Amino acid sequence: MYPYSRLLYKLCQTYGLKFESKDLIIIFCQSKYGEEKMKKRKLGNSSLEVSAIGLGCMGMSYAYEETPDKKEMIFLIRKAVEQGVTFFDTAEMYGPFTNEELLGEALAPFREQVVIATKFGIKMKDGTQTQDSRPEQIRKSVDGSLKRLNTSVIDLYYQHRVDTNVPIEEVAGAIKDLIREGKIKHWGLSEAGAKTIRRAHAVQPVTAVQSEYSLWWRRPEDEIIPTLEELGIGLVPFSPLGKGFLTGTFNKESKFGKSDFRSIVPRFNPDALEANQVLIDLLKNAAVKKNATPGQIAIAWILAQRPWIVPIPGTTKLHRLEENIGAANVTLSSDELSNINSALEKIKVVGNRYPDELEKRTGL
């Protein structure tokens, strides 16, 4: 599939060039000699067309142990645009605020070429996350996001988490007004339950729902995906690589600093990391057959589920960006998908995806 892989590997050996693994050579070849440009997808029945794979930008400013250099992240974002990515995800909560500012600066030269998604509804109060989706707060949030993103309109505006103190009909009504005023083009919900999605959609059509979805978190298949299919709404999976686990780079010896979100996630404790290596074995076996990487198989599996699903893997590293983009050119046959799914049915994933307090805020 990638004829330059073997040649480049030999050249590297000849000239003493060092790579961390052969996977990087595959990624390089996919980037430099990819068979086609990034494919496009439409989110549900809407007119919103985006690259088949987007870029989640949270980790560039928030949630992990070290905040990367801003100039390096601007370079990475612009490199993504160069390689065909048109869909970028952020939120006012990330930083807070600094992630939106980063995207506003990085994407300014390409604003007409890209789709920016951001989120409202979560703020920090006394060091704790709280939901606030009152209509007056939504107005404050959208004006702040427009300024930080250096744009006159937001392409896709999500409610970050459902606020049980504000009826979703009021939220949808406020969004409807903002669309009428030209401040946003489309709206969506994040980690909402099926009933809430239906109620919101009845007031103002929902373009996309963002939810965690991956080989190790498949709960959306029970209710969310059938609901979205019925209503013509797109799905935007975040953490399609299981917060990095599905790349195969972690094991029971892996350590996470206190400021790294994964340090409080049950699935990243040593026992769970060891028990869940069976998933990595599955991905590695599939990857060898496709001349791909485990992470690319994980993303390709998601892309194969529905044509209106657009994953947004995040990264702060150029080689991972290129690896993730390369997944768009990895096609899994029906037999290959069947084999993966059959193997998944025999695997019990160990550990919760969130601490209890955070999980309680989802599916509402």
Distance, CA of 308 to CA of 236 (rounded, Å)? 9
3-state secondary structure of 83: coil
Q: What is the dihedral of CA 58, 59, 61, 62, to 10 degrees?
A: 90
Q: Pick from 190, 209, 199: which is nearest to 120 by CA?
A: 190
Q: Which tokens sit at 11?
A: 């050249």
Q: Among 94, 157, 158, 354, which one carries the catalytic annotation? A: 94
3-state secondary structure of 159: strand
Q: Are 188 and 208 in contact (CB under 8 A)?
A: yes
User: Using N-to-C axis directions, what is the helix angle for 135-148 and 98-107, rounded to 10°?
Assistant: 40
Q: Are 316 and 285 in contact (CB under 8 A)?
A: no
106 conformational bin, left if phi > 0, alpha if psi -120 to 50, beta if neither:
alpha
Q: Is 9 a catalytic residue?
A: no
- Say how many C-beta atoms besides its own lie within 10 A of residue 31's C-beta: 17
Distance, CA of 129 to CA of 112 (rounded, Å)? 33
Distance, CA of 4 to CA of 29 (rounded, Å)? 6
Distance, CA of 207 to CA of 235 (rounded, Å)? 9
3-state secondary structure of 130: strand
The catalytic site residues sit at 94
